[in-house]
Amino acid sequence: MKILITGGAGFIGSHIAEAFHRLGWDVTILDNFTTGKRENLAGLTRTRENPFGKATGGEKSSEIAKSEENLAGLTSKRENPSEKETGGENLSEIATGRGNLSGIAGKVEIIEGDIRDKTAVAKAAAGCDVVVHLAALASVPASFRNPEETYEVNFMGTQNVLEAALQNNVKIVTFASSSAVYGDTDRLPIGEETPANPLSPYGLSKLLSEKLCRFHNTVYGLPVVVFRFFNVYGERQNPFSEYSAVIPKFINIIQNGGTPTIFGDGEQTRDFIYISDLVHAHLLAVEGALKLQPAKSVKPATNTSKSSAAYEATPLNLGSGEKTSLNQLVKIMSQIAGKEIKPQYAPPRSGDILHSFCKIDKIFDEIGFKPQTPMILGIEKMFNSRNFEN
Ligand code: UD2
Q: Which of 41-55, 122-136, 368-382 has the lowest mean pLDDT?
A: 41-55
Q: Are strands 26-31 and 2-6 parallel, antiparallel or unpaired?
A: parallel
- pLDDT-derived band at 105, boundaries 50, 70, 90: low
CA atoms of 324 and 187, how far apart (whole Å): 17
Neighbours of 188 (CB within 10 A): 16
Q: Is the pLDDT of residue 69 over 70?
A: no
Mean pLDDT, all residues of the chain: 85
Q: Is the pLDDT of residue 67 over 60?
A: no
| Residue nearest (by alpha carbon) to ligand 1 atom 26 | 263
Q: Which domains does the chain have, with CATH numbers?
A: 2-230+274-318+359-372 (3.40.50.720)
The residue with greater pLDDT, 97 or 279, is 279
- What pTM does this model have? 0.87
Q: Is the CB of 145 under 6 A from ligand 1?
A: no
Quick one: average pLDDT of 366-371? 96
In the chain, % of residues over pLDDT 70: 81
Q: Write down the pLDDT at residue 387.
A: 57
Q: Write down the pLDDT at residue 262.
A: 98
Q: Is the pLDDT of residue 386 over 80?
A: no
CA atoms of 197 and 192, how far apart (whole Å): 12
Q: Is the CB of 308 under 6 A from ligand 1?
A: no
- pLDDT-derived band at 307, boundaries 50, 70, 90: low
Q: Is the CB of 249 under 6 A from ligand 1?
A: yes
Q: Write down the pLDDT at residue 364.
A: 97
Residues sharing a CB contact under 8 Å with residue 260, sequence separation 6 or more, in sequence order? 249, 250, 253, 254, 330, 341, 343, 344
With beta carbons less than 8 A apart as the criterion, state whether 327 and 267 touch.
yes
Q: Write down the pLDDT at residue 186.
A: 87
Q: Is the pLDDT of residue 120 over 60?
A: yes
Q: Write down the pLDDT at residue 44.
A: 80
Q: Of all helices (H) and strands (E), which one includes residue 267?
A: none
The residue with greater pLDDT, 349 or 382, is 382
With beta carbons less than 8 A apart as the criterion, state whether 68 and 83 touch.
no
SS3 of the chain: helix, strand, coil, percent, to 5: 40, 15, 45
> Which of these, 125, 233, 32, lies nearest to 8 by C-alpha position?
32
The total number of residues written for the chain in this structure? 390
| Residue nearest (by alpha carbon) to ligand 1 atom 21 | 246
CA atoms of 384 and 129, how far apart (whole Å): 36
CA atoms of 11 and 243, how far apart (whole Å): 14
* Three-class DSSP category at 61: coil
Give distance in angstroms: CA of 248 to centre of ligand 1. Answer: 11
Q: Write down the pLDDT at residue 103.
A: 46
* Three-class DSSP category at 271: coil
- pLDDT-derived band at 241, boundaries 50, 70, 90: confident
> Which of these, 43, 55, 59, 62, lies nearest to 103 by C-alpha position?
43
Give distance in angstroms: CA of 140 to centre of ligand 1. Answer: 9
Q: Write down the pLDDT at residue 144.
A: 93
- Render pLDDT for 161-207 as a digit per residue (tens, 0 to 9): 999 999 999 999 999 999 999 998 888 999 999 999 999 999 999 99
Q: Is the CB of 352 under 6 A from ligand 1?
A: yes
Neighbours of 324 (CB within 10 A): 19
Q: Is the pLDDT of residue 229 over 50?
A: yes
Residues sharing a CB contact under 8 Å with residue 381, sequence separation 6 or more, in sequence order? 234, 235
Neighbours of 103 (CB within 10 A): 12
